[in-house]
Structure 1
Amino acid sequence: MTHVLSIEGVRAAYGKVTVLHGIDLYMAPGENIGLFGPNGHGKTTLLRVISGLMAPSAGKVVFEGEDITRERPPVIVTKGLVQSQQGNTLFGDMGVAETLEMAAFTRPARARAKQSLEQVYDLFPRLAERGPQTAKTLSGGERQMLSIGASLMCAPRLLLLDEPTLGLSPKLKEELAVALKEISVSVPVIVVEQDVELLLSLADRLYLIEHGEVEREIGQENALDHQEIMEMYFGEQSA
């Protein structure tokens, strides 16, 4: 069986500081993956390596059977592997509709741009209402919706999400969680997220990342509940 994604012995560093220490993980067809663990332990760096935004110092990234380790980000996006950035990285002076239109820049994305736009507006009706507004005038939650919507316009075959609900109000977080669950039915996702309930609702398997290594893999055969995962984050005192 060809995995959707295989990470094989990936190491990565910022200057002389090594952040990833030989990460191995995989994603099988038909499943969603969650990454969790303490802040600053390599989760975001791993997503950057997968999407080509950072070159690893060792190891391989294999997407749908093809080694993409040294490919540039635009090429990786063209292949269907797309990372949704935080909403605050959008072009602030660009309108909502313009941002979504621009995001469909690859040939596969242009071919289905109309359907993708309908999907985005169905998922996020607020974006349809704010078409001419510039990104900098949107709320934090709306900017996050726009960022995810732009990623969907790229016609992803695999979507990477880095803490999509970070900093959102409980109401907006709940609204976004509903959309993410709907997205994950049709597009496989890898999610980095601190909200344990959201991770458990989205992911078929979880990887605990600590000190730049996979400390534990959690699947159906060794499933953990919310409290057990919280204790991994914060220690036994969280009980």
Structure 2
Amino acid sequence: MSWRDFWNSEHAIYVSPRHKLLHYRQIATDLIRHIPSPEAVVLDHGCGEALAADRVAAACARLYLCEAAPSVREKLRATFGAIPAITVVSPEEVEALDDGALDLVVANSLIQYLGREELAQLLLLWRRKLKPGGHLVIADVIPPDVSALTDATQLLSFAWRGGFLIAALGGLVRTAFSDYRKLRAEYGLSTYSAAAIVTLIREGGFDEIERQPNFGHNPHRMTFRARNPG
């Protein structure tokens, strides 16, 4: 099983429906802060189920939801197919978009599942698809010194605030015996220091790279915003 296979399968990465709902609500709120105008064209690359994508679409002119897992794309089309501003695409369809078509590209909780070369190629792709002066936001970057224990502690804190603490405790136990844990042990997750990810983004042709508050509930992970100089 690969990471793509995992996300294409039934999994229990979210400990309860409430956890999933609150997670995607928070991601939508964080993403909307980066939309430059109501006329913007936005790509959410690696969007997952994006349960609050309707809120994001209401803040821009066009929202592309890119997801590699076919089963997730089917769910997205079933949920948001009636919203004209939302288009669900595969990674291959992102490559077919017109160059310079996008004002904002967001990749949240994506790059930990990619190798360094895969990310380097995506950075070149994103730069081509962005307008001159458009922005890239890479969120939820995992530093090398953030452990699974820190992630678990942050989840429990989020669960306490969100009212699903019991479900979170049970979910952590299930995760210990899940395919996610096995894949994480076999393939690992890609981690980057702040200096390393900034260097990689700069090598992709971006400038004005700035650290931003992280998306989601875990402040120990990192978010960076960068500009396509054109």
| TM-score for the superposition, normalised by structure 1 | 0.33
| TM-score for the superposition, normalised by structure 2 | 0.34
